[in-house]
Amino acid sequence: MREMRALFLFFVNLFFIMLHPAMDAEKPFEFATTPGKLPKEVVPLEYSVRIVPNIDKFTFSGTETIKLSARSPVRQLVLNALELKITDASLDGKALPDSAIKIDKQNELLTLALPSDVATGDHTLALSFAGKINQQGQGLFYMPYQEQGSGAKKLILGTQFEATDARRFFPCWDEPVFRARFQLTTVVPGNWLAVSNMPIESEKKIAGEKEVRFATTPPMSSYLNVFIAGELDLIESRSGPTQFRLIATKGKAEMGRYALEATAQILKYYNDYFGAPYPLPKLDQIALPGGFGGAMENWGGITYFESGLLFDQKNSSAETKQNIYEVLAHEMAHQWFGDLVTMAWWDNLWLNEGFASWMGTKCTAHFNPQWEVWLRRNSPRDPTRRVGIAKEQAMEGDARSTTHPIQQPIATEAQANSAFDDITYKKGQSFLRMLESFLGKDIFREGIRRYIAKHKYSNSTTAELWDALSEASKKPVGEIAAGWTEQAGFPVVKVKREEGDKVSLAQERFTINFKNAPPLDWKIPLTYALVGEAPGTLLMTNKTDGLQNIPADRALKLNVNGAGNYRVEYDESSWNLLLQALPNLGVEDRVNLLSDAWALVQANRAPVSLYFGLVEKLPASTDLAEREQLINVLDLINRLFVGTPEREKFQSYARSLLQPTFETSGWEPRAGEPPAAGNLRASLITALGDLNDPKIIAGCRERFAKYLTSPQSLAPDLRPAVFAVVGRYADEKIWNQLHELGLKTTSVEEKQNYYNALAGTIDSKLVKKTLPIALTDELSTSRAIFLVSKVARDSDHPDMAWAFAKANMKALLAKTDALGANRYAPSLFTFFSEDSRATELKTYAQTNLPRESASEVAKAVDEIQFRSEFKARLAGQLSAWIDHQGKTAIRTRNGFSGRVALTIAQRF
Ligand SMILES: [Zn+2]
């Protein structure tokens, strides 16, 4: 039945795609026609909510009064509530009988039947209710943790409401379009600090506890509310009218110094960029020791998983520091894009996430050019990480049959939660970057300022962003954008040299593992350059186009700096000219060529020799982004070849590609080296360790042994890499040592390093010891379930990870939030490359997974099928390539190494 449904949906989608090829432009925001379940006759104006948590019983009781406006006479009130028991209800002071209160669990609705029509105008609804404090990061939840210093076991309370969980905290109109003012009051133990969106207005003692009343928020969407309480410390500072605070569990606030300073810098930048100052009196950055993996942009009170905010000068890595800045910049961009102006409905989620991803990266790159953030595609080593550029990852997903348009219809809560994916975040970001480079930076900013000024304290749709950018640029932005946001996929531009100085261009849809894909066209904002000359632009609006005045002997590069969201396929003579011109190309363009070449191999448009032929011709360099592109490819192949006869030969070849760079880079950080050098060293150690390099493994073991007695002997930047390699080849003694260290530390970052190392262990006896940790409370809930995913990815034993998860699914799912529930089981299958696993997942899904998991199941099935086909294809092609290279290897490799040394001498 389920498969028939999937097939049916496929044809419905196909029909939709073919009938509406980007012509059906979206309408501007209008309250009445915004999608959603709730009737629009009644709107909330202001909530006053009082919550009293009972931390012994993990329950809470609450009361609220809501000022409402009825826009027409109504006979019932419909709002959202979930897992709440309503004990009393009254309207305008008149109690409603119990029989008038109806909860529809399936639709998460609370309906109050009224004795007679309620007149148009203002009314007051009062409700009493009771709810529960959850283990997972949904609604109000608790986080157990070990206190810094004392190691004492404590817990704190926090909330997570996006997308649809404010309704677990208090009955409310829980759709983003119902903006209202919120005023929260709460009762907590006397020694606790309570935090919400606004500053504390008053406090009074009540028998060992205290009642805390927060000021009223400006009109905002319900999902942006926040409440945190526990034994907290803070450090603070101020800039103009805005107070910033960095809040963490006791003993840790000082580690937020870096984030507090970055906050001041970023806020100033955004106040200027958006042309509208930050509108609230304070901004809190709150470090939570668990509950969820990323960060959440609650207005005025942003929450972060601790390692995304706290930086320990002595023990944190440079990677952690960069991550903190990027996450801060992303979440703070939301304070305008998302909070001050909010998407009307979840079908426009990308307006929040694509924009914040782009803006955050732009801001990070502006203040930290040495980090090369636009260039680095952060590899998905941490599956919980949602921020980061990872453009390549999004393009790979967007080339498959299971992709979807950036803007997609959303009908249910589950669909809203599923919308937080790579397409929404990273394709959205990538498209905005392409558009900015096409329109020009100043014009683009002018459009954004107009948009914010026009829609602040309100909701909007994508159409209004395009209108603002069109007004600023006098270009048809909506028309250009439609193909990129309203239809799935993206194009490849084929470049062909014609007679004389002409070059012809042709576009077609770029796909991977997607037979008979519906053909589509795009309006492509192309950039191109003759190598060494200034770039030009061309808006390619037809299937074919052309360039003139391109001399037949000059190299032509399209997609300058890789800023565009399309692939380029060159004909042979164009490709050969580019290979010759490689030393004169910037690193951005070289990385772009590598990425495109690899994608063409994946798509079966080119043999693997295209990619490795390019790699072998690269000029020597220690550019981080370029080497990381190669490392990611080698890593993928290495994992695909687990258990195959080809693996050893491949590993030997792969090591020979990376070793010269490592020899130049060396083990020890050098004084004054750029931060990218540290990142590169760590990446190379991890990669070579994975590739079974005996020298690297011995070097890591030696450093780990020293670390056990003298922790400061190992640079923080190298720790994750050294622990990962030691963990991968661990025996029982080393496994126990790593575990011991993990149990002991109170630093979330260090804990993660140790448990990541355990997850990579390849000895199957030890894998059996690692997996059950996911069921204990050694790790916070979000990290615990991803421990299993990490084992599946890193241990060479995805089969053991899945068998364990299957046997313990109920206990594992109890630890995940709404975002994770639908994708957890399917995600564990994406590490398999045998067709039989696709069948197994489909069978499992039929009886064990909810209907809402269907799209995640389809994605996983597609991934398994792709890996199976790709593995077989690579095996033959790679073997031939390596044999061919063997004949010339010595000469090539020596040349490579020598030139690296020269580059380094100049760089440091
Ligand atoms: Zn975001």
pLDDT tens, 701-749? 999 999 999 999 999 989 999 999 999 999 999 999 999 999 999 888 8
Stretch 845-856: mean pLDDT, rounded?
88
**DSSP notation for 53-72:** EETTTTEEEEEEEEEEEESS
Using the mean position of ligand 1's atoms as its centre, give its distance from the Cα of residue 458 in Å: 18
Q: What is the dihedral of CA 106, 110, 114, 117, to 10 degrees?
A: -90
pLDDT the model gives residue 725: 97
pLDDT the model gives residue 885: 81
pLDDT at 7 exceeding the cut of 60: no
| Packing angle, helices 647-665 and 889-907, rounded to 10 | 30
| Packing angle, helices 318-334 and 349-367, rounded to 10 | 130
- Of all residues in the chain, the percent with pLDDT exceeding 70 is 93
- Tell me the CA distances in angstroms from 83 to 57, 59, 88, 138, 849, one per residue in order: 16, 11, 16, 11, 21
pLDDT tens, 301-354? 999 999 889 999 888 888 889 999 999 999 999 999 999 999 999 999 998 999
Distance in angstroms (rounded) separating the CA atoms of residues 897 and 660: 5
Q: Which of 484, 529, 486 is nearest to 507 (CA)?
A: 484
Report helix, strand and coil shares of the chain as percent, to nearest 5. Answer: 50, 20, 30
Residues with CB under 5 A from ligand 1 (ion): 353, 356
Using the mean position of ligand 1's atoms as its centre, give its distance from the Cα of residue 161 in Å: 13
pLDDT the model gives residue 818: 58
Using the mean position of ligand 1's atoms as its centre, give its distance from the Cα of residue 331 in Å: 6
Using the mean position of ligand 1's atoms as its centre, give its distance from the Cα of residue 214 in Å: 25
pTM score: 0.87
Kindly report the average pLDDT of the chain as a whole number: 90
Query: Cβ–Cβ contacts within 10 Å for residue 7, how many?
Result: 10
* 296 strand-pairing partners: 303
Where is average pLDDT lowest: 33-42, 379-388, 813-822?
379-388
Residues 6+ apart with CB under 8 A from 34: 40, 177, 344, 345, 459
> Which sign, positive or negative, has the C-alpha torsion 750, 752, 754, 757?
negative
pLDDT tens, 573-617? 999 999 999 999 999 999 999 999 999 999 999 999 999 999 999
pLDDT the model gives residue 621: 77
- Tell me the CA distances in angstroms from 444 to 53, 421, 763, one per residue in order: 47, 25, 54
Using the mean position of ligand 1's atoms as its centre, give its distance from the Cα of residue 423 in Å: 13
pLDDT the model gives residue 748: 81
Query: Does the active-site annotation cover 673?
Result: no
Yes or no: say if 761 and 730 are a contact pair by the CB < 8 Å rule: yes
Per-residue confidence at 819, pLDDT binned at 50, 70, 90? low
pLDDT tens, 263-282? 999 999 999 999 999 999 99
pLDDT at 532 exceeding the cut of 50: yes
Bond before 807 cis per omega within 30 degrees: no
Per-residue confidence at 817, pLDDT binned at 50, 70, 90? low
**DSSP notation for 5-63:** HHHHHHHHHHHHHHH-SS-SPPPPP-GGG---SS-SSEEEEEEEEEEEEETTTTEEEEE
Using the mean position of ligand 1's atoms as its centre, give its distance from the Cα of residue 417 in Å: 13
Decide the pairing of beta strands 209-214 and 200-206: antiparallel
pLDDT at 1 exceeding the cut of 80: no
* 303 strand-pairing partners: 286, 296
**Residue of 331, 396, 446, 486 marked catalytic:** 331
203 CB-side CA count, 13 A: 14
Using the mean position of ligand 1's atoms as its centre, give its distance from the Cα of residue 387 in Å: 7
297's tokens: 């942009």
Q: Report residue 422 CA to chain centroid gap.
A: 7
Q: Which of 563, 383, 348, 627 is nearest to 463 (CA)?
A: 348
Distance in angstroms (rounded) separating the CA atoms of residues 908 and 903: 9
Yes or no: say if 241 and 223 are a contact pair by the CB < 8 Å rule: no
677 φ/ψ angles, rounded to the nearest 5 degrees: -65, -40
* Strand arrangement, sheet containing 567-570: 544-547, 503-509, 491-497, 567-570
Distance in angstroms (rounded) separating the CA atoms of residues 605 and 597: 9
Residue with tokens 């419905």: 12
pLDDT tens, 44-91? 999 999 999 999 999 999 999 999 999 999 999 999 999 999 999 999
